[in-house]
């Protein structure tokens, strides 16, 4: 049995990837796997796999490897996904609709049980078997449905206010999809998934691989001012 302890976020991310790899292996009927094979599946070195796992105890048999099902179940316990987490979604726009319909959340133990918005035209309607509620009902619903995690999918200008409402409602873990920085008090865990920023990182690498074309000033079109030098 693994023992809970605090580790770096990078370790948690790698464990999550390993857990998915082990899930695939389990479905394939693989019973035992070496750290080298698991590392190849997950995209990490065998040494990194062993180091991360050693943070939580001793696993596997020397000269034999890891029992796939047993290790998968243990990592699920470490990640806290051996149970169901009730989730509140704030924002019923295009992004919120896509997040609610995404099946991967339920598969990993995250169940969106409440959706909030301030658009009167949407309130009261049912989305994916979830009734869309007025955002003013958040505190009541968080308590009533034992919600532990909040997702923000509102415009940037409303994100901080929504985050404050989630915190006041008792939420201690927030996933923010709004393209802005929000601040939460100590004791509340915040993760931001800025999709535009990720695309900008990709566009940067594509741009950096292409030589920048430069021309002499007199050959450029539409880049000169009339009547003197640029100021």
- Kindly report the CATH class assigned to 9-79: mainly alpha
Q: Give the mean model confidence (pLDDT) for residues 90-111.
A: 95
pLDDT the model gives residue 128: 87
Tell me the pLDDT tens digit for each residue of 164-174.
999 999 999 99
- Least confident interval from 7-11, 73-77, 91-95: 7-11
Tell me the pLDDT tens digit for each residue of 59-72.
877 778 999 999 99
How many Å from the N-terminal Cα to the C-terminal Cα in the chain?
70
CA atoms within 13 A on the CB side of 179: 7
pLDDT the model gives residue 39: 94
Measured distance CA(125)–CA(148) in Å, rounded: 23
Topology at the third CATH level for domain 85-197: Rossmann fold (3.40.50)
Percent of the chain clearing pLDDT 90 (strictly above): 79
Domain chopping of the chain, boundaries: 9-79, 85-197
Q: What is the pTM of this model?
A: 0.83
Which helix (H) or strand (E) element contains residue 173?
A: strand 173-176
pLDDT the model gives residue 59: 87
pLDDT the model gives residue 217: 44
Tell me the pLDDT tens digit for each residue of 131-190.
999 999 999 999 999 999 999 999 999 999 999 999 999 999 999 999 999 999 999 999
Burial classification of residue 136, based on how many CB atoms lie within 10 Å of its CB (0-12 exposed, 13-18 middle, 19 or more buried): exposed
- For the cut 60, the answer to whether the pLDDT of residue 213 exceeds it is no
- For the cut 60, the answer to whether the pLDDT of residue 227 exceeds it is no
């Amino acid at each position: 049995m693994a023992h809970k302890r605090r580790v770096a976020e990078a370790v948690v991310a790698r464990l999550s990837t390993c857990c998915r790899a082990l899930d695939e292996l389990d479905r394939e009927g693989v019973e035992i796997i070496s750290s080298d094979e698991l590392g190849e599946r997950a995209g990490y070195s065998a040494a990194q796999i062993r180091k991360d796992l050693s943070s939580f105890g001793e696993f596997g048999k020397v000269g034999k490897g890891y029992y796939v099902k047993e290790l998968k179940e243990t990592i699920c316990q470490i990640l806290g996904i051996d149970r169901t987490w009730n989730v509140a979604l704030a924002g019923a726009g295009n992004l919120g609709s896509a997040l609610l319909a995404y099946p991967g959340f339920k598969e990993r133990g995250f169940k969106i049980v409440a959706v909030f918005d301030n658009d009167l035209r949407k309130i009261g309607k049912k989305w994916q078997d979830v009734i869309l509620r007025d955002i003013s009902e958040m505190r009541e619903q968080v308590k009533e449905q034992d919600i532990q995690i909040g997702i923000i999918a509102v415009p940037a200008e409303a994100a901080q206010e929504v985050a404050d409402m989630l915190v006041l409602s008792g939420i201690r873990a927030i996933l923010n999809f709004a393209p802005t920085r929000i601040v939460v008090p100590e004791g509340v865990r915040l993760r931001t998934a800025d999709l535009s920023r990720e695309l900008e990182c990709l566009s940067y690498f594509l741009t950096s691989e292409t030589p920048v074309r430069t021309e002499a000033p007199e050959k450029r079109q539409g880049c000169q001012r009339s009547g003197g030098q640029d100021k």
